[in-house]
Structure 1
Amino acid sequence: MKNNLTWHSHRLSKAERIRMSGQKPFVLWLTGLSGSGKSTLADALECRLHEMGFRTYLLDGDNVRHGLSKDLGFSDADRVENIRRIGEASKLMVDAGLIVITAFISPFRADRQMVRDMLEPGEFMELYMDVPIEVCEQRDPKGLYKKARAGQIKYFTGIDSPYEAPLAPELTATPDLSIHDEVERIVAYLVQHGVLRIGEQRKILSVV
């Protein structure tokens, strides 16, 4: 079937879409154990970037499994496919000129590298939520660790399925800072490294 497919080149280029968006598109990939605070930090960061006038989109693990990946389970093979789909979706959004923030456990280094390789150099940054499993398990906001310990959930990362921490993430977050301070630290890093270009983003227009 694939032999019958042909890539169609459209007249409007990625560069032209980026120029219209007025910002540098990229993916900030939050990875870490369940309960490490990925979704909370990603949500706060997106709100901060929106306030600054940047065009963003947040992809969250649970939300994606309600739609794009609702047919997948949590076996190793399904986890790989889930991340592949998220990578392809993120690539399309970057092509459209958006800043993409993702919040996924994404336990395997090879899968995160797969997404990095889908994008151009400088378009993928890894943010590791470096929170010990003991802290995550104490938080247990969804009660998942308790269920996993009771054998009610199989293939649970950190319990009966491994998590491979990043070896050289661009950013690392710990429980030491408040969410507000962590967001400001991330924004400062992105500005310092020329990823967020303050003053170049398009102004938000208020419609009465």
Structure 2
Amino acid sequence: MPSPTPEPTLSAFAGFRRIASGPRPEVIARLREIESTADGAPPLVFDDLTGERLDLDLRAGAETAPAPGHCDDPVARGVGRPKLGVVAREVTLLPRHWDWLNRQPGGASVALRKLVDEARHVHADRDAQRAAREAAYRFMTAIAGDLPGFEEAARALFAGERARFGDLIAAWPEDVVEQLRRLSAPAWSEA
């Protein structure tokens, strides 16, 4: 049985200062408190896993549940085995691919699931590194795109140059640097 997915966490920034961080409901509650006294621009909120900027509805009666991308689609589907988490989707392949898949034990679906699981296992480290670099870049672009050294820092991030990346962002605001270090940490692990 797969381990449960950890609850997504968010980080909110007012300018370059982190003002809230943690599970989605806690961050929303904190932002609602701050909003009642804030006079400035709305805070920027980021998903801590993907680095994506989120638009949250902070009105008092608004839903605080995770965004559709973070939860299962409640719409029941007629094809597949929804109770088992199996959802039918379209895959486009050449005829020779379908021929090979159909000759495999269990048919095309079983063969595809095995191939995907094998690829996920073999490339897990590389995929985690890529995802971490992309998350750090998304955050960095949204909040630090105008800071000095941004372009060079982005190049160092994607080139896997940890020390150079650290040097280039060191003069940036403390909370931004801390968030970038946290987001990019898996990008530096050795394969």
What TM-score results when the alignment is normalised by the length of structure 1? 0.20
Which of these two proteins has the greater Rg computed from alpha carbons?
2
Structure with higher helix content = 2
